Homo-oligomer: A and B are copies of this chain.
Amino acid sequence: MKYSKATDYALHTMLFLTAATPQKPIGVQQLAERQSVSPTYLSKILTKLVKAGMIESITGVNGGYRLKRNWEDISFLDIIHAIEGSASLFDCSFDHGPGCPIQKVVLSAEEKMEELLRNQKMSDLVREHNIVI
Give the B-binding residues of A (Cβ under 8 A).
Answer: 1-4, 8, 11-12, 15, 76, 84, 87, 89-92, 99, 101-102, 105-106, 108-110, 112-117, 120, 125, 128-129, 131
Given A1-B3, A105-B116, A109-B120, 18 other A-B residues pairs in contact with their CB atoms under 8 A: A1-B84, A1-B89, A2-B87, A2-B90, A3-B106, A8-B90, A15-B101, A76-B109, A99-B129, A105-B117, A105-B125, A109-B113, A109-B114, A109-B116, A109-B117, A112-B113, A112-B115, A112-B116
Contact B110 A8 (CB under 8 A): no
Tally of this chain's copies: 2
Which residue from B15, B106, B109 sits with its C-beta under 8 Å from A102? B15
6 interchain pairs (CB within 8 A)?
A1-B3, A101-B129, A105-B116, A106-B117, A112-B115, A112-B116
